[in-house]
Homo-oligomer: A and B are copies of this chain.
């Protein structure tokens, strides 16, 4: 682990972002089996649930149980999505380490997704930060800025809106920020430009990026974000997931393809790739008939892959 390679943190968001788009409801035990399989492959960061009313997202009705069970696994940092104070209270009670508050730089998407304006969501961030500060253990607040690179409803999103929202979230007390291309509109030049601008605005508070592979550009956008200094990426095993407001979206960047690219580039993700591909097979068995994405699983690791050779030796 301390071999001098640059570290990158991967956050497996499939149990939240992947499952919420499916028609079916994955049983709690199966969610845990998925998380355990990726834990065995070295993954340590998971976003496992969304604390929203079960009538809106029945796939997340077991959020409390999933967070508690995932926290019982040693060594994991567990995040949960919380759109409001009520959700935050439940997530803190369940044992979450990180509360991800979804904001949208697009006002239209914000209203459609969380039924609040971006400004109203900043007020939610402040209230949730207040809750965390009186919790009996450290709980962090991560502001996830969705539609940062464009929106299926309103089209282009002004960079100024993203910069203002990022600054407002920091003022509201968020511990960190992430930029999300929820709908697969981002391109590498835009990512480099916006990451640089947001970093100039809020400095090290900008921690993460979340790319969907809707138009095949997710890994190219990751490279651009790396150039901008981002070292934390969301992904979903098998590229599971999408966005209810992005028709035809093929989902999050695949964890296995992302980990492969980063390891090939010399980054240390902590992930054992053969074990991650084995976890993907387990996921495929848990979700029969669901389309999984990603190319590494089909092609396999290259013969020249140095990390594999070191680990096999």
Chain A positions within 8 Å of B, measured between CB atoms, are 150-157, 183-185, 187-190, 213-217, 219-220, 222-224, 248-250, 254, 257, 260-261, 264-266, 294-296, 298-300, 302-304, 306
CB neighbours of A306 from chain B (8 A): 156
CB neighbours of A190 from chain B (8 A): 264-265
A153 to B248, CA, bound (A): 38
* CB of A116 to closest CB in B, whole Å: 22
CB neighbours of A183 from chain B (8 A): 302
Among A154, A215, A257, A260, chain B packs the most CB atoms within 10 A around the CB of A215
Are the CB atoms of A214 and B303 closer together than 8 Å?
Answer: no
CB neighbours of A152 from chain B (8 A): 302-303
Are the CB atoms of A296 and B216 closer together than 8 Å?
Answer: yes
* CB of A259 to closest CB in B, whole Å: 11
Supplied contacts A154-B303, A188-B223, A215-B261, 15 more A-B pairs, CB within 8 Å: A150-B303, A150-B304, A152-B303, A155-B302, A155-B304, A184-B302, A185-B304, A190-B265, A215-B260, A216-B219, A216-B254, A216-B257, A216-B261, A217-B219, A219-B220
Q: Which of B151, B153, B188, B264 contacts A261 (CB 8 A)?
A: B188
CB neighbours of A155 from chain B (8 A): 302-304
Are the CB atoms of B296 and A215 closer together than 8 Å?
Answer: yes
Are the CB atoms of B261 and A187 closer together than 8 Å?
Answer: yes
Are the CB atoms of B295 and A213 closer together than 8 Å?
Answer: yes
A303 to B261, CA, bound (A): 29
A260 to B185, CA, bound (A): 11
Q: Which 7 A-B pairs have the closest CB atoms?
A: A216-B295, A187-B264, A156-B304, A189-B265, A150-B304, A155-B304, A219-B220
Are the CB atoms of B298 and A220 closer together than 8 Å?
Answer: no
